[in-house]
Structure 1
Amino acid sequence: MKSSNALFYFFLFLYLVGFLLTWFNSETSIDCYIGDSGESLIGEDTVNSEPYSASITEESTTPGTFSRTYSWDYEGCNWQLTLPLDNELYEKYKSRTRNRDYDLFASDPYDDWLIKDIAEALLSLSKAHGLEKSQIPGLCISFVQSLNYTSDLESSGYEQYPRFPYETLYENGGDCEDTSILSVAILQEMGYDAVLLELPEHMALGVKCNNGYRGRSFEYEGSNYYYLETTGSDWQIGEVPEEYADQPVYVVPVYRRPMIKLDFKAQCAYSKKEGVVDINVTVRNVGSERAENATVYVALQAEDKLSFWDEIESSSITIEPEEVFNYTAKGLTVPAGNKFRVYVQVSGEDLVPENITSAWAMI
């Protein structure tokens, strides 16, 4: 009887896996066309006598999922793009920590499928319409600029709340850092060399262009990146809004890399002779690349900050993006009557070392 039940559940599991894979693949396609609503006009040059305003329409598919059609203007034509969106996936993104650098939102690996589909759709549209290569970034930005602008405080209740590209598309907009993050992700997938440009109280995009372009550019590692505004509309490459014309600009490269966030809890048992400390360490990779050959080092640091009463190091580990690794260091000792603090560091291949310490204590 038990073997029959086990066989039944095994086949049920295989059926569900097959169903989910079929459903997922059916929902990740993107439809795109140029022209008036309702007509598929890929490859035809449709020039509008009057400009279209940006708009969106939504259509339910299966429970918890829907498709959204974005419509916007560029180079005298109306362009449309339809994306599949999922409520459950959106909630998963909302649950992820915002405590990471801006570029790691743009390089996040878990929405690669969507960014790739958007890039391919926009490239297909640009080819069908006969756009020059120099016009393609403008098409991409015109799509992003058509999204609604909403401040972080208004939309999330926080002063600063950067979003992953999937969230910006799901919410149909965001503020300057959200649209810049989305834009740089799409342009890089298209093969363009793009960076984030961070200004006081603002963020924009930098696109590597030939020296023939006019407007404001910024040099980074021997290349010129021209300013491109991602909020508002009709901004040209190199054109800077007047309120930001004299602001300092910091170039933020976007590439995949691991980034570690640390936390720990310590418990100490005392005696007349010594203190015995157990430390539970939580290691989270909030980066966009796996942390290879990482090690966790835990020590009881002496008051001179150069020596340690006791120490231990973990074996080598690999931590995937968004993965959490828990490590427990048990039985570290410090002689009675001496000050100490807990010192934790994670280091590894292609990983900027991260460390944290506790307050000073005395046995």
Structure 2
Amino acid sequence: MRSMANPCVLAIILASILISSVILASFQTVAHAQTPVKITVSKGVTSNGLYTLKAKFSNPRDSGYSLQSIEISLSKQDITKYKAPSGWMAKTRDGTVSFSTKAMRPGTSATFEISSPAPIFFFRWVVKSTDGAYTDWGVKDTNINWSSATIKRNYKWTFEGEEWTWDPAFSKALYDYYRYKDRPPTDYSVYVTDTYDDKMISSLVDSIREVAKERGWTEWQTINFVISFVQSLPYTSDSVTTAFDEYPRYPIETLVDNGGDCEDTSILAADLIQKLGYGAILINPPEHMAVGVYCTSCDGSYYEFEGRDYFYVETTGENWQIGELPEEYRGTTADLYPLTAKPTITFRWESELVNYSNSYATYKILITINNEGSAAAKNLKTWTAFDAQQAGKVWKQITTDPIDLEAGGTYYWEITLSPPRGKDTRLHIQVYGDNFSTIESTSKWFKT
């Protein structure tokens, strides 16, 4: 980043999660104390751009156990293809591949290949033995690092009469990760508080802070410098640049895509301002998005939130200053969103009738829960029941033990319930916890 009027070059080192140029080079071997299994991971990028993992699971000769199933979770990444060795069955669900066989005896190994258009930063695996002795091995995390491949961009903008330029090189793996990431139903704060791009944003903020210190800028000037950069990015409509009418972008997407609409530039500006150490919120006037900044030396239009005055910042169009509110939003109300990390829980379910007796119908219910937010969901539980038609009554019900579901995590519950036969009922599921609102889903009414 440098000023053309007064050349002062500052090195901006953007933290990269690396991409391998060598196809399937050996990566690491991990042995976990609770299990006899060893895993060797190879990784690479195919010629058509797919990120590929090969995971070799070895059952040591002296383990004393035969293995029956291996489940590999990619944390909701899109799985394009997978390959298992002969004799293994495979199935996928929501970013998880499960492989099963009759028995993988001591002294043998099996290699599994998984490919995804998005980089696989980590995967989780669970191994179960044929006699159940190791069904409590739990979830094991294996982290993946990728070597460098970058996307170069060039930005030019004007601030206080000087022309500035910035020529960054962004991590392609980090960009691909966010490009394929789900768009969670949220108030947009999750796009600011997501942590995977913190190092990249912080490196840019450090350079801005260094420029501000060298120039002796006030906080008003420092914030306006950030705003002038963001305002210089072209406005682009989601419906034109993506296949969606509404597609909020994470900060690195807005930077690499060289622009976005009002929520995209507001998310980017809010992230930069907050990491500079200033309080920030998102401001949502009718059919618009902007930023509010807590600034002790600013004046103009502001919104009061939790006892503080947040001055309005327009991020679309150039030359807007802190506190300048466009005429069309004067006298209107706006929703205010704090930039607080929080869970965003979604779930889906499927059920299957597995048995009939003279008295009961037995159903197996698979519940898949995703945390698409930026903070862990605390004490998450599910309540599953077959409702009776009388209000408040159920035929059968069960509540799961609480778990903490980390940001980006997926959890599965397989539940079996047996309501009485010949009754009018519906399946009713609620998901609730300490730090998110209860969500629920019901089936149509039917007769068991």
Q: Which moved more, 1:222-231 or 1:344-353?
A: 344-353
- Candidates 33, 53, 58, aligned match of 2:2: 33
How far apart, CA to CA, are the structure 2 residues paired with 1:157 and 1:351? Answer: 30
Q: Which residue is equivalent to 2:413?
A: 327
Pair 1:149-2:235 in alignment: yes
Superposed CA offset, 1:145-183 (max 9, x none): 111110111111322111111111110110000000111
Identity of aligned residues (%): 35
Q: Residue 213 of structure 1: CA displacement?
A: 4.2
Match of 1:65 in 2: 150
Q: Distance in 1 between matches of 2:161 and 2:381?
A: 56
Asked if the contact 1:35/1:41 (under 8 Å) is kept, the reply is no
343, 351, 356: which one aligns with 1:258: 343
- SS, match of residue 310 in structure 1: strand
Quick check: 346-355 or 177-186, which moved more? Answer: 346-355
Q: Is the 8 A contact 1:215 1:226 kept in 2?
A: yes
Conserved 8 A contact 1:100-1:287: no
* CA–CA distance in structure 2, aligned partners of residues 126 and 218 of structure 1: 26
CA 1:134–1:323 in 2, change beyond 3 Å: closer, same or farther? same
The aligned residue for residue 206 of structure 2 is 120
2:164 alignment partner, one of 63, 79, 95: 79
SS of match in other structure, 2:407: coil
Please give the residue correspondences for 1:1-363 in structure 2 after superposition, counting only pairs within 5 Å: 32-35=1-4, 39-40=7-8, 64-101=149-186, 102-210=188-296, 213-269=298-354, 270-330=356-416, 332-363=417-448
Cα distance in 2 between the residues matched to 1:304 and 1:110: 48
Once the two structures are overlaid, the 10-residue window that deviates more, 301-310 or 279-288, is 301-310
Task: Name the TM-score, length of structure 2 as normaliser.
Answer: 0.65
Cα distance in 1 for partners of 2:171, 2:446 equals: 49
What letter matches 1:40 in structure 2? C
Report the 3-state secondary structure (helix = DSSP H, G, I; strand = E; otherwise coil) of the residue aligned with 2:255: helix
Task: Confirm or deny: 8 A CA contact 1:34 1:80 kept in the other structure.
Answer: yes
Shift of 1:239: 0.9
The structure 1 segments of at least 4 consecutive aligned residues displaced by more than 3 Å after TM superposition are 39-42, 61-64, 269-272
TM-score, normalised to structure 1, is 0.79
Q: Distance in 2 between matches of 1:166 and 1:287?
A: 17
1:352 counterpart SS class? coil
Which whole-Å CA distance do the structure 1 matches of 2:278 and 2:370 have between them?
Answer: 31
1:339–1:83 distance in 2 versus 1, CA, 3 Å: farther
Contiguous gaps of at least 5 residues in structure 1: 1-31, 43-60
Q: C-alpha distance in 2, partners of 1:109/1:311?
A: 38
Q: Which amino acid aligns with 2:440?
A: N
Q: Residues of 1 paired with 2:221 and 2:295: CA distance?
A: 12
Contact 2:151 2:256 in 1 (8 A): no
| Distance in 1 of aligned mates of 2:278 and 2:390 | 51
**For residues 157 and 246 of structure 1, do their structure 2 counterparts lie closer, same or farther at Cα, with a shift above 3 Å needed?**
farther
* 8 Å Cα contact 2:220/2:298 also seen in 1: no
Tell me the distance in 2 between the aligned counterparts of 1:290 and 1:83.
32
User: Once structures 1 and 2 are overlaid, which stretch shifts more, 305-314 or 195-204?
Assistant: 305-314
Structure 2 CA distance for aligned equivalents of residues 63 and 257 of structure 1: 31
Instruction: Please tell me whether the aligned partners of residues 5 and 162 of structure 2 are also in contact (alpha carbons under 8 angstroms).
Output: no
Name which of structure 1's ranges 200-209 and 239-248 shifts more when overlaid on structure 2.
Answer: 239-248
1:41 and 1:312 map into 2 onto residues whose CA distance is 63
Distance 2:387 2:166 in 1: 57
In the alignment of these two chains, the number of paired residues is 311
